[in-house]
Structure 1
């Protein structure tokens, strides 16, 4: 799966601007689902989910990843073609891209909340008074830096995450971790005073 897919056409941008499609896509970024599984997760009809799956597939956001025969039925599993989606520069002037981006941030946060709520209790055990020794991380901060400094930080962060993702050393001692970050420009500090 690619890390980022660039949205190239207005039709793709319009297709991804639908809030339900964004929500479906966030599920499919996480793992493959069947139409039936998504319908159950989202409490919607299979017909409605199938319509949106077809639109996402038509615009190259998802693909069929496997077929499984079960009880005489053929189950089709769909997955996202990338971990994230961004509009090409020539599409950035469309208002829909702002709302689609905002919606995608909200869906990422909703999925993170679900991951926290469904994680095993052991994920939140604290066995040291030194936070650097915890095998979990939750922090937020409001900072005032130049755009260049912020972009340098995001580049380094992406490199660190990509290093974790591409680490192919598989051992029985490996643990699974959920990693996410959200950052965006704000008008003013709410949680902390500027130093």
Structure 2
């Protein structure tokens, strides 16, 4: 990883880190070809202090990658059918992570289309966390992998000065589908997105239990 990315991810303030990843480029290589997305929507999760986090109640076999030092991915399987990918932040043991919710496919569009045949338009290829992860070809087998370095097929690069997202376009609000206290938009307005970008996913509150 580039020094500036190492410095960013090494911090423990995931609420500051998450919006700084907007506009970043995440690329994943495979025998089919490389697919890269420009991140347009993310969510911050703060471990033991965050009731919306997978790590709120401590380490498990499923979430153990969240407790690693910054610079790895945490990939989990949800609803028995989807994978979602997070960037792990902070020092070892603090369990901070940024969920990558949406992006624009900027390389490998044909490969992404093959993985996401249900997408009617290219803007929908990585519009939502499960779609993004599918378009990139990431699975639970990639959980814990480093972002860059020898043998890694995953690379994350921050946006350069010419491509940086203007601060006035960054919006924040409640996280999508988070139930209970963690879904409180007043206390946890930790979803960040680029205003007006067509690849940003629609907001949905958590379903209420009957």
Question: TM-score, length-normalised on structure 1?
Answer: 0.30
Relative to total residues, which structure has the larger helix share, 1 or 2? 1
Relative to total residues, which structure has the larger strand share, 1 or 2? 2
